Amino acid sequence: MTALALAPILVPAVAAAIATACGWRRWTATLTVLSALVVLLSGAVMALRVGGGEQLLLGGLLRTDALSATMLIVIGVVGTLSTWAGIGYIDSELAHGHTDESGARLYGALTPAFLAAMALAVSANNIGVIWVAVEATTVITAFLVGHRRTRNALEATWKYVVICSVGIAIALLGTVLLYFAARHAGAGLEEALNLDVLLAHAAQLDPAVTRLAGALLVIGYGAKAGLVPFHTWLADAHSQAPAPVSALMSGVLLAVALSVILRLRPIVDAATGPDYLRVGLSAVGLATVLVAALLLTVTTDVKRMLAYSSMENMGIIAVAAAAGTRLAIAALLLHVLAHGVGKTVLFLAGGQLQSAHNSTAISDLVGVMGRSRLVGASFAVGIVALLGLPPFAMFASEISIARSLTDAKLGLVLAAVLVLIAVAFAALTRNTARLLFGNARSGAPSITVPATIACALVVGIVVSVGLGVTAGPLSELFHAAADHLGAP
């Protein structure tokens, strides 16, 4: 089991080291895709082995349980599709002069390092190590956001670094306070940051200190998840990053940050009572959905539109986490996976539109369906999945989240979320209809799709449809994760 837990961390790290030494080559890029597949397979095997239990490894440094298996599967699926598409993306960037050999080498090294950092964040048992891993994702992705080195890309990079650094500093303060409370509750010097030890001493933690620590942790990790009030970096970073990186950030990085909050909630609830974080997550989640829905009504940029949609979905997931029931946790995990796959397809398709037009303005991209069946169909399928229409999985997850909010007596929150979802639905439908079926301008460029991107799009569509038809054994995994988190 130790090898199984280490593989999703070490294999991408080795791929990053090889890419650093050898530069951008087709075989080093393929190695990165294989490392993402290792993450996926590790998560799948872990899901089969752990069941509803957990196992601590390396002296309590790492853990294997249903939640870590779920998140590794999400990282693996999104990572495989994104790195596969990244081969064609970087080849095209080199051909058009948008990057050079140095930039390609950096991209090839940082992408698997990004996967390794996220895998560590979801596998660690020590919240100090989790903090380091999440901070590492900020450092790594800062260079990826600024990949093209344009003025807008550099501006987005600095905005991302500053805001997320403030957020992660707030999370560090919350971590220190939780350590302080654990030490005073009798936890050992070297183990007071371990999740299992914190949970064992949770009832003895000082309520006032834990309340402050919980608020700081939610704010800090919420910044990485794109939650209000530290959400302003998200649209800029997603719009300037390479399309495969945008897919990784939107499809999985945001969810990784929220998974940390899920880990910490049982500890805070045991010390302060369940209503404290329920109110906080409800307020933050609802505010995030509100801001995202309003921004969706005015945006004219396709990548910013997808970024605001990610904000909306992270807000929905935060509201589901506020409910905290077994159904809510299982539903939000399904939502995380379905959103990750659908958003990956959308960003990859959007990246091809940007490459063809050298623009992300919706007004420049109209008439896509008549000019590229593959890109148009991919974007259409991704949007339908994102809108939560049947038979896609987000329809089932949103229905289950709505039911869980009703069961948790959060009917007013549910009503507000439904109204805002309707606003976002209308905005996304309007913009997508114009993009796909509008009248293309005379002399509109042709849309070519490299083979690796085409394959990633087709596989992404198949996975999205398959996940909608049946979640299969994943539903048992999601409920096992909910049970492990102590959801009633």
Alpha-carbon distance 113 to 121, whole Å? Answer: 12
Q: What is the pLDDT of residue 468?
A: 86
- The answer to whether the CB of 346 falls within 8 A of the CB of 386 is yes
**Does the model's pTM come out above 0.75?**
yes
- The answer to whether the CB of 194 falls within 8 A of the CB of 125 is yes
Each of the 488 residues of the chain gets a pLDDT tens digit; together they read 788 899 999 999 999 999 999 999 999 999 999 999 999 999 999 998 886 678 889 888 999 999 999 999 999 999 999 999 999 999 998 988 888 899 999 999 999 999 999 999 999 999 999 999 999 999 999 999 988 888 888 999 999 999 999 999 999 999 999 999 999 998 888 899 999 999 999 999 999 999 999 999 999 999 999 999 999 999 999 989 999 999 999 999 999 999 999 999 999 999 999 999 999 999 999 999 999 999 999 999 999 999 999 999 999 999 999 999 999 999 999 999 999 999 999 999 999 999 888 889 999 999 999 889 999 999 999 999 999 998 899 999 999 999 999 999 999 999 999 999 999 999 999 999 999 998 877 777 888 899 999 999 999 999 999 998 887 678 899 999 999 887 77
- The answer to whether the CB of 320 falls within 8 A of the CB of 282 is no
Q: What is the pLDDT of residue 150?
A: 86
Whose tokens are 């956001």? That residue is: 145
Q: What is the pLDDT of residue 52?
A: 60
Q: What is the pLDDT of residue 23?
A: 92
Q: What is the pLDDT of residue 333?
A: 97
